[in-house]
Amino acid sequence: MWPPVARFTTPEPATGGHIWTGRMWGMEFRFGGVLFDCDGVLVDSLEAAGAAWDVWAERYAPQFDYRTQMRHGVRAADIVASFVVADRRAEAESFLEEAEIEGAAGTHGIAGAASLTAALPGGRWAVVTSGTSRLVRARLDAVGIARPEHIVAAEDVTYGKPDPEPYLLGAKGLGLEPSVCVVFEDAPAGVAAARAAGVAAVVGVGDHLEGAEVDARVDDLRQVRVAGDTLILESR
């Protein structure tokens, strides 16, 4: 039996079962592997992505407003399909991908992401993203995070988040069962995907997790350190 949560120290009360409404410090999670979402977890691409989507919308979907209609954590192709007629979707997806890659230099690293990923054994962590493989590589390179050996990207799955397929493939790529993997996510769609995949634990990152079923939440990855096969969440 793999115990994902080893112990708790000095907890703050949480309410609503697993629906996270606060913080709990001194949490320790044993892991076989660690699966990271990319945008909002390892990199901050919000501003750069917004600029690319705005250019895209002018050309393909004037009715689309990135700030109010963007579904974070969902594949771009699935959003494009909601706004663009079928015979223009491939063209629209390609245009958007190129625009986002061109803007990758405007991406910033999430605090603590580079040091946390560097502290993990190379074959025991992966990125599971709703972006394309070219885009995630461009963004990781832009912020100086070494690419992991395994990346699950939009084109690798039939169904994107919140379907469990991305996280099932992420665990499989590490040669592990999902039940020994800890996931870091910033969006409810990604949290739902991880839960449906049956992972050991989900750590939420940031402030956009209302109603998401996470085991803990951190502001950024400076609050996480590695000790052997254990992730330790700490107060700042």
DSSP-derived letter for residue 169 is H
- C-alpha span between 214 and 224 (Å, rounded): 15
User: Catalytic site residue 220?
Assistant: no
Tell me the two tokens of residue 51.
């600029």
User: Catalytic site residue 54?
Assistant: no
Tell me the two tokens of residue 234.
């700490």
Task: For residue 58, give the 3-state DSSP assignment.
Answer: helix
Q: What order do you get walking across the sheet with 224-227 strand by strand?
A: 5-7, 28-30, 230-233, 224-227
- Spatial CA neighbour of 214 closest among 194, 197, 229: 194
CB of 164 closer than 8 Å to CB of 197: yes
> Could you say which of 37, 44, 186, 215 is catalytic?
37
CB of 182 closer than 8 Å to CB of 231: yes
Residue with tokens 């085991």: 215
- C-alpha span between 124 and 194 (Å, rounded): 17
The separation between the first and the last C-alpha atoms of the chain, rounded to the nearest angstrom, is 32
> Could you say which of 39, 44, 186, 215 is catalytic?
39
Backbone angles phi, psi at 127, to 5 degrees: -105, 130
DSSP-derived letter for residue 33 is E
- Spatial CA neighbour of 110 closest among 3, 26, 224: 224
Residues that are catalytic: 37, 39
